[in-house]
Amino acid sequence: MATRSNIIIRGGQFKCYLYRHYDGYPAETGAHLLETMNAARLLGQNNNRPDDRAVSLVNRLLRSTADDPGYDGKPSYHYEITDEIHGDIEHLYIVRMANPFGIQILHAQIGIGIGDDRDEAAIIAESVPYTPAEFADMVNRERADITARMRARGYKGELLPIALA
């Protein structure tokens, strides 16, 4: 079963909705958001306007592909543009770019189907706001918990912590 999520990227006037069909939990999608912002140097003193930073993040996310190709052998992209919050998501992320350099990340865990019954403002009101460092701490706690569960079941792999640039 897929863990679906939406990501809303906001700048000054810019707003874009993205949908991710699988691995929407913070240990994966949250980590990917942080890694992408690190790679784009959006977490430091970036002189670009909030709209420019938001567009840059969206472009990078839309170009990211899964390690394995799709069933047809073509690249399998993580995200697609959508026009609203889906009703069947389990996680919502909001990345707000602010002046001059600030970034706020909000996260809400949503029960499947609940999005159908509430408007966007109600879901956002229930979201927990984080600084990038606080969000990285939450993501890394979840990655450590998943690693511990994997090892308890005999798996040798681990989800490495995300470090901010």
- Model confidence pLDDT, tens digit, residues 112-153: 555 455 677 888 888 899 999 999 999 999 999 999 999 999
Give the predicted TM-score (pTM) of the model.
Answer: 0.89
Q: What pLDDT score was predicted for residue 1? A: 57
Find the range with the poorest average confidence among 9-13, 15-19, 25-29, 38-42. Answer: 38-42
User: For the chain, where are the alpha helices, taking DSSP H only?
Assistant: 31-39, 50-63, 120-125, 132-152
